[in-house]
Every structure is written in C-alpha cells, then in structure tokens.
Amino acid sequence: MLKAIRSSSLCLQQVNRLSTPYRGVFRSVVPNKNPKLLQRLFFCSDSSDGSGSGGSESVSAVVEESENESKSAIVPTAIKKPDDYLTDPKLLAALVESRKRQAPYAGAFLVKDDPEAKGSDAEKNIYDLKGKELLNRLHEVGTLAQITSITGDQVVLIGHRRLRITEMVSEDPLTVQVDHLKDAPYNKDDDVIKATSFEVITTLKDVLKTSSLWRDHVQTYNQLIYRPGRPFLHIGDFNYPRLADFSAAISGSNKLQCQQVLEELDVYKRLRLSLELLKKEMEIHRIQETIAKAIEEKISTEQRRYLLNEQYKAIKKVASLTNNLFVIALFCCNSKELGLETDDKTALTDKFRDRIDPNKEKIPAHVLQVIEEELKKLQLLEASSSEFNVTRNYLDWLTALPWGNYSDENFDVLRAQQILDEDHYGLSDVKERILEFIAVGKLRGTSQGKIICLSGPPGVGKTSIGRSIARALNRKFYRFSVGGLSDVAEIKGHRRTYIGAMPGKMVQCLKSVGTANPLVLIDEIDKLGRGHAGDPASAMLELLDPEQNANFLDHYLDVPIDLSKVLFVCTANVIETIPGPLLDRMEIIPIAGYITDEKMHIARDYLEKSTRDACGVKLEQVEVTDAALLSLIENYCREAGVRNLQKQIEKIYRKIALHLVRQGAQNEPSDLVSESTEDSGESKESNDEPSSDTTEEAEIVETTVSATLTQNPDDQASDSKDNEATNVTIDKVFVDEKNLADYVGKPVFHAERMYDQTPLGVVMGLAWTAMGGSTLYIETTRVEQGEGKGALHLTGQLGDVMKESAQIAHTVARAILADKDPENLFFANSKVHLHVPAGATPKDGPSAGCTMITSFLSLAMNKHVKKDLAMTGEVSLTGRVLPIGGVKEKTIAARRSGVKTIIFPLANKRDFDELAPNVKEGLDVHFVDDYNQIFDLAFDLHTEK
C-alpha cells in the first residue's frame, strides 16, 4: 500500500544507471522563511528490482510549477506560489511517519485537469478533493518514489518504477493498493526498434549541437548523478526503454504527453512517442531560430539606418558650410546608402512584382511579356539616367491597372427599381431602359459594355442618374467631363517620349476605381472642342465603339486594353452638335423637362427634405405650403430642370435657419428667454409678450414666436436672475404664397401669355429651347398699302431657317387666300411686317411655318384665331404639314400658359401618345397633315365675343 502524492504536472526523467545506484539530488527553490513560495520536487529513476534491462524500470517526477515556466527546465527556479495554493498537512505528516517506520515509499500520480475549472480554481480544487473524488481525478499509472529526506514542508523523492492503482484503501490521506508494471517483452535485435532508437539518438545529438538549453539539461543530469570516472553522460549508454524515457523527460513536452509515455509499456511504441516529442522540439527550435534571426536583422537594420541618418545630418550640416569635395562626396555616398537619392532597383522590382503576382493568371499574356521586358530593362539602366524614370513611371502605370478584376454586379431588378425611385421621381422611360439592361445581364449571367447617351436640358438629373445606375448595378463610378476638350491626348494619352507624358482619361479611370467594369460617365459630350491638337470627337470613336474598345490602345501604355465590360453613360444638352459618327455609336435616351406636377413632387419629396437636413432645420420647426411651392415653380423656376428650384429652396431654408437662430428656437429655448429679456431691458414674467425686435422680425416672415415660462408661485417675487424657464413654446415658421417674396425676392417670370385674346395677326406658337419648351408669339401687321406694294419685312433676330420659313409661309398664305377669297388682294397691295417678340433672344428652327401662315391669314382676312389655341409645325410650299421635335416640351409649355387646344403634325401623334397621362390631361389636341385642316380649326370654329 502506498500513500498517493498529488501533482499538477508530470515530467518523465530517466537516465542510465551503472552499477552504482542513482542518488537524487534536490535543491529547494523555496526558502524556509517564506512558505508561500512554490515547491518543486524532482524524482530520478532507479532499476534496483534486479530485472536488468527487461525489468520494470520506473521513471517519474512530480513538478509543481506555474504555466509560465518551461516544463523542460531542470534547474530549480524560484516561483511565487499563489496565496490559495496550500500544502496538505495530513499528507506531509503521513510521509514523515512512513519514513520513520523504514517504509520510505510513496506513489506519485498526475492529477487530471478539471474541465469545469479555470485558472487558479483548478489548483484550489485539487486540494479540496478527498477520498473517492480525489482518486477519480488521478491517472491510474504513476511512479513508485522513495522518500529520501523531508525538511519542513519540502520532500525529496527518488522515482523507481511504474505503478498502476488497483483499489483505494483509506481516504485521508489517500492510500491505495497498486500493481508494479514492467515493460512488455521485446526483441533487442529487432531492426525496426534499432532503427527507431538510432533515429532518436541522431535527433538527440542534433538537438544537443544546436540548442544550448538542451546541453544545459544534460549537464544538469550529469551533476545530479554520481558517476566516478565518467565526467559526462553518454547517450550510447542507454538501453531502449531508458533511451525512450530520457528523451521524453528532457523534451519539454506538456504533462499529458509525458503521461502518455509513462503509461506506454510497449518499448517500440514508447520509442515512437519519444521520437515524436523530440521532432516537435526540434521544429520548435527551428522556429525559434527563425524568429530570433528576423528580430536580430530588424534591430540591426534599424540601428544601422539610425546611425546613417545621424551621419547624414552631420555631413549635410558640414557640407552646407564648406565646399570641401571630400565632404560632398561622403555626403552623396551616405545619402545613396540610405536610399534618399534614388530608388533601389531591387526594391522597385519587388514592388512591381508584388502588384502583379496576386492576379498574374488574369493578366493577358502580351501584357505580362511587356512587364517582364520592362523589368529587365529597369535592372540594366542607371538610376541617374532619364530613361530610368521613364521606365519606372511606365511600370508603375502598367502594374497598377486592374487587369481582369471585375466587381460583382447586382442583377436584382427589384432592388434597382427601388434605388432609381429613391433618387429620382418620374423619368419612367429612362428607368425602364436601365431595368432592361439589368434583366438582360441576369439572363446572360454577365453584362456587357453599353454606350447610353442621356440628352436633355440642364438640371433634369442626367449626371445623378448615372450615379444611381452605378449604385443599382453595384459598379464603381467614375466621371469626367469633355466639355471644351480640344486635345486628343486627354483621351488617348501622350507618347512616352514626351516630357510629362501621362495616360488618357480611361487609363486614369481604371487605376482610380480598381475594377475593369466600372460605370464611366462622360459629361457634356455635345460640347467637345476641336483645336490644333486634333479632333477629340474622332478619338472618342475608338473609346465608345463596341467593336473597337475591346482592344483600346492608349498611346502611353501602348498595349491593348479591354474596355468591352465598361458601361459608358454620356450626357448632352442637345444631340445636334454631336458628330454623326459618334452619335451613331450611342443609344439616345431623351430626358424632357418636368411639368409643374412633377416639380411639386420633386420639391416636396426630394429637394425640401435634403435641404432641410443640410440646414439643420427640424421638421416640426417649419412648414412650406403647397401654394408657396407652386408659386415658386411658376413664377421663379420655369426652366425645364430643377437645379434652380433647388437653389431657391436652399435660399428659403437659409433664411429660416437664420430666423430660428436669432429667436433661439433651436436646441436652447432658455437662452431665447434670457436674450428676449435683455433686448427689452426689463425682466419678464411668465406670460409676457416678446420684445419689439422679435415682433418686428416675426411680422416680416408672418409667423409668431411666443415664449411661455412656468415658474414656482413662491418665487415670482424674487429677482429675475433666479427665475428658471421650465417650458418654452416656439410656433412653426410658415412660408406661404403671401410671404414668399420675403425669402426669394420679387417674381422673376410673369405670365407667358401676352394676350388673353390674341388680336388680329397674332398667333401663339410652341417652341423648343435648350431650357425646355416655351410659347412663342408670331405678330404681323400692315405697314404700307398701295397697288403693287406687296412685300414682307422680318424682325426679331431670326435665324436663316426661320427666315426661309417666313418666306414659305408668305407664299403659302397668298395661295390659300387666293383659293378661299379670290377677290382679296391684301398680299398684292400690302407691305407686311412680321415680328417675333423678345428680339434680344436668337430664334431659329423648322417648326414655325404653320403659325406664320395663320398669322398672315388672320391679318389678311381680318379674323381672330380661336382663343386658347397654340400650334406648331412646318409646312411645305404645297401646304403639307411636316413633323417636328420636342413634343413633350412643347406640350408642357402649352399647359403652363393655360392653352386648351393644341395643333400637332399628324406624324407626331405617336410621340404624343407616349406621354404620361398627367401631361396630356385637360388638353384638346388635333393632329393634321395639311394646312387646310389648321385653317378650319383656327378660323371657321372661332366664335366672336
């Protein structure tokens, strides 16, 4: 029966013993005066059972140590013991008694880890356990240890052989019945065992050569064992079991691995386990050497650079004060060594290779070939040569491009619809085209490049639509403007031979976004210039042509670039100024101006909300009525877009913000009360009126700001400084049609209708402008009458096309008058003056012929045209009505002017049918293909009033 000694960790240690038995030499790490320091005990093996090499050779050690200390350490080290780490006094007393009875033996067993305990709690639980609970926590296999000495609470033991617990005898202290274990029989001449043992010995020798720590281990064992005439321990003295035990003992493995070796009775398997532990130790040593070498190199490099920097500063200071050639040369050498003068070619090469290595398989072969050639060229060039910098910059651009890197597109049509609706109101035709593009990409699995041109007046949202498309598709967005661009090199890049050469806009775009399939917005493509540096419009053909941009060649890079996955979105105000070949490559999506209803929605749901947030005004602090917005749109912002409308709304909210801050209504209501009190020059009670200054300002914006103070009645007689404002009420700021002028000034536009009922010779026409549609009056009057004095005089800054239209209209009107009233000789005997008002504005276009003919006939026949009638269309000499453009813009202009009846050419019926219902609502539209139909509508149906 043996007393069981508990240990928190187990280390196997065994060395070969000659005829002289081993003596265990133990040194306590805990001074007697400090019982709180941790005890550390070592056990050496003994094979005194007389079984020889095949006997039961036991080996064990009990080590109580902290987790921070290496378990392979042999030399005792002082480690502080936790306060709650206590020695079992009953166990210590039992060991002392056993030694006195000449039965100085005890069993040393490793305690299993408690999976539920953490940290120091595990050590507490060990000494709290008693009896059966403690037995269950012990490993079955342990070591028979001889008690050699006991000093205070320090016990010195010598391990002898392996034991296995069979049953418990008593609980406190734990006493158990054990069996002595012997190694399983084995063949000493077995080749596998020999080879394994030789590998263990070889690994031990390798480790002893490379690791000073292992040499210290062996030296310590040599000191622990008394061996006359043998100054050092020889590995060759071991037999197979002892070799395995010794290797595992000094391997530094954790306690469970050592316990596994202790429990293994098969000699070959024990050798294998020990060899694995040695190999792991060897690998750890290699990693340690690698880490040490890396840290040493880093420290050496930093120290060297620090010294060179200090030398550089000192030499530079001396060189600045003297012209000594030696000092200047030393300065140059030192700066070159620091890398301050030129870039290191090897470092540059490594940088460029690091860029291309992650995506090397995606880079085209011809591009990789060029990169490799340039890298070799860079190594051969002198860093001081101009060609070196050219090659370096070229490689910098060439390796920075996203060759084959594509962003993951989102083909969710519902998500795209939501994004487009969030950013823009209306524009259903544009949104539908974008959704079609996404749907095709979803069905194909990938989208292809496309060239879309958004044309329309300023301020309708062409650029912002491009951003929304990029967000809907999950593509990177890049924008550049070509308005006024006259240099081809901006598109195609410069030749590398030029000083300051750079790639074109597309290469810069790809480098900036980092993907090969971005959305590129080309703004103002209708305003491309043309100068001495070439024709940019022609250079854009290669960029935008789907058949060519798969191999776009930039002059700087001089290697083909695939732009077939890029989605190009161009914007233009008018498409007439875009060259025909360039226009042929684009898909035109016209964006007309907004009608009043659409502007109201945009102002209320988009512009007002964003402006209110930008100005820091809260929703409950202000209210802008619908009447105010309607007046703002009709009298201040009649243009087709909404950019000016946004400016006017921002102007309103800036004034509101100023008013709120002056009144102290934002965030600090108590300050408002104190300021009002100071302005009035007297203390105010809880229900006083605001000061006169406040009242005057409130009258300007037609709003009332009232301050209500709630005070304790007991404090009403106290000084005003002691009054506390507990409640302040600020009324909303109302902006309506009546006080709108106080925020944005007087109305800019008045009613477009010059006449409620057009007089003789005056007809309302419809015109298209870059700002959208507008009404246009054609006025004619007779200036001279006499036989044979028929003539035509034109004014109003008309263009050549409108002058020709007037001549044609005069001829057609004479023919119609001769047919309708042969006796009327008005045109033969009258000089007629035709004028188009707003003479300061240039006017031109092929759509005023019908209006001019009607004006001539009204004057000649002395008949008024129908009230609230507007028309547009060009005529031929035979009276045929020709189609026109800008149907939506002209319809919007007619609605804005209160027109009820509109006459369009028959060929434009399809364009009118495509308009939104709210645009066509309330209009009586007639489609004609001959002027005689207009004559009947304009005169025969007119009712004199």
Catalytic residues: 847, 890
Phi, psi of 495 (to 5 degrees): -70, 145
The enclosing H or E element of 477 equals strand 477-481
Distance CA 442, CA 916 (A): 29
Pairwise CA distance, residues 373 & 330, whole Å: 35
Question: For 19-74, what is the HEC assignment?
Answer: CCCCCCCCCCCCCCCCCCECCCCCCCCCCCCCCHHHCCCCCCCEECCCCCCCCCCC
What are the counts of helices (DSSP H) followed by strands (DSSP E) for the chain?
33, 25
Report the C-alpha gap between 873 and 846 in whole angstroms. Answer: 8
446 is in an annotated binding site: no
**CA atoms of 873 and 881, how far apart (whole Å):** 6
One-character DSSP codes across 237-302 = G--HHHHHHHHHHTS---HHHHHHHHH---HHHHHHHHHHHHHHHHHHHHHHHHHHHHHHHHHHHH
Q: Does the annotation place 59 within a ligand binding site?
A: no
Q: How far apart are CA 16 and CA 32, in angstroms?
A: 33
**Do residues 258 and 162 make contact, with C-beta atoms less than 8 angstroms apart?**
no
Q: Is 772 annotated as contributing to ligand binding?
A: no
458: annotated binding-site residue? yes
If we measure between CA atoms, which residue out of 487, 480, 473 comes closest to residue 412? Answer: 473
List, edge to edge, every strand of the sheet that includes 830-835.
791-795, 830-835, 772-785, 762-769, 869-871, 901-905, 924-928
CA dihedral 309, 310, 314, 320 (to 10 degrees): 30
SS (H, E, C) 345-360: HHHHHHHHHHHHHHHC
Tell me the C-alpha distance between 173 and 874, whole Å. Answer: 119
Amino acid making up residue 153: D
Check the annotation: does 664 bind a ligand. no
Closest CA to 24 of 36, 32, 39, 13: 13
Give the single-character DSSP code of 716: T
Q: What are the residue ranges of helices labelled H in 664-702?
A: 669-680, 692-700
- Separation of alpha carbons 875 and 859, rounded Å: 19
Question: CB of 673 within 8 A of CB of 489?
Answer: no
Query: What are the φ/ψ torsions at residue 5 (nearest 5 degrees)?
Result: -100, 130
Other Cβ atoms closer than 10 A to 553: 13
- φ, ψ of residue 724 to 5 degrees: the values are -115, 130
Q: Is the peptide bond before 402 cis (omega within 30 degrees of 0)?
A: no
Answer positive or negative: Cα dihedral of 306, 310, 312, 313.
positive
* AA letter at 180: H
At 810 the three-state DSSP class reads helix
Written as one string, the DSSP assignment of 93-144 is HHHHHHHHTT--EEEEEEBPP-TT--THHHHHHHHH--HHHHHHHB-SEEEE
Q: Is residue 503 part of an annotated ligand binding site?
A: no
462 is in an annotated binding site: yes
User: Is 845 annotated among the ligand-binding residues?
Assistant: no
CB atoms closer than 10 angstroms to residue 537: 22
Cα three-residue angle 564-570-576, rounded to 5 degrees: 125
Please tell me the distance from the alpha carbon of residue 642 to that of residue 11, in angstroms, as a whole number.
84
Residue 174's SS3 state is coil
Pairing relation of β-strands 9-10 and 62-63? antiparallel
Structure tokens, 886: 């800008």
Please state the residue numbers annotated as binding site for ATP: 456-463
Please state the residue numbers annotated as binding site: 456-463
